[in-house]
């Protein structure tokens, strides 16, 4: 099993069938699958159910980048809660009236919370990075299962690894966004999130194998 989460943010020309073939082809070989808002908009809760049915192993993560009041975030998750293992939300909405409510709800139904610490695109440097002390406090207070830090800036992965020792670190930005496979794992991430490079490949398994040397360079023999 490679410490990779495969991200699906499909456009309108991608059918659910294509996604499910990719999921089946990678099932057992990767740590899980991340389904974003475009996936929800196109396929609805049924799409989540089908992905869950297509692979009994690994994590199914709803990457809704939730950033609303607690009441609304909870309602969104309820629509798919039977089919997923974890949900991604933004730390920048804060604790009271937002993430505390979400965390309590997720705990009550046995789902994991993953909070975004920083993002992979350059715009995040203008806003989220300068406010990171505030975001840190939110994450330390909520103690989520996982934290997102960008593979495009490995120093922030290292920082997240040190700041949140209890958390799994998940790193997007590998592939289409520029970071090379293995970069975040070498910096201490638990999972690299890889989308376009793998998800809709004609042969996802072969695409995964082609980046395996990069992924393995900082892993012990037992990890992959």
Task: Name the minimum Å distance from CB 68 to its own copies.
Answer: 5
Q: Active site includes 103? A: no
Which residue among 20, 27, 72, 219 contacts its own copies (CB under 8 A)? 72
Pair of tokens at residue 71: 């009441």
31: phi then psi, degrees, rounded to nearest 5: -75, -15
Please select the residue that binds its own copies; options are 24, 100, 158, 180, rule is CB under 8 A.
100
Q: Which is nearer to its own copies, 46 or 53 (CB)?
A: 46
Both tokens of 171, joined, read: 């790193």
Exactly one of 2, 5, 10, 30 binds its own copies (CB under 8 A); that residue is: 10
CB closer to its own copies, 3 vs 47: 47
Binding site for its own copies (CB under 8 A): 9-12, 36-38, 40-42, 44-45, 64-72, 75-76, 78-80, 90-100, 119-128, 130-131, 134-135, 137-138, 177
Q: Which residues are catalytic?
A: 65
């Amino acid at each position: 099993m490679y410490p990779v989460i495969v991200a699906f943010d499909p456009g309108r020309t991608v059918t659910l069938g294509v996604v499910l073939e990719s999921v089946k082809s990678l099932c057992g070989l990767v740590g899980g699958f991340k389904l974003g808002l475009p996936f929800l908009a196109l396929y609805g809760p049924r799409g989540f159910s089908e992905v869950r049915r297509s692979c009994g192993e690994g994590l199914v993560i709803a990457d809704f980048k939730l950033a609303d009041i607690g009441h609304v975030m909870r309602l969104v998750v309820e629509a798919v809660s039977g089919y997923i293992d974890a949900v991604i939300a933004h730390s920048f909405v804060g604790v009271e009236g937002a993430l505390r409510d979400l965390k309590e709800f997720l705990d009550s139904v046995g789902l994991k919370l993953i909070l975004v610490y920083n993002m992979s695109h350059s715009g995040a440097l203008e806003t989220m990075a300068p406010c990171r002390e505030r975001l840190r406090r939110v994450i330390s207070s909520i103690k989520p299962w996982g934290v997102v830090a960008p593979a495009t800036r490995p120093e922030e992965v290292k920082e997240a690894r040190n700041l949140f020792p209890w958390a799994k670190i998940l790193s997007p930005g590998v592939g289409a966004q520029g970071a090379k496979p293995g970069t975040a794992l070498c910096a201490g991430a638990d999972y690299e999130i890889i989308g376009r490079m793998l998800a809709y490949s004609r042969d996802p398994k072969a695409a995964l194998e082609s980046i395996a040397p990069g992924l393995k360079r900082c892993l012990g023999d037992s990890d992959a």
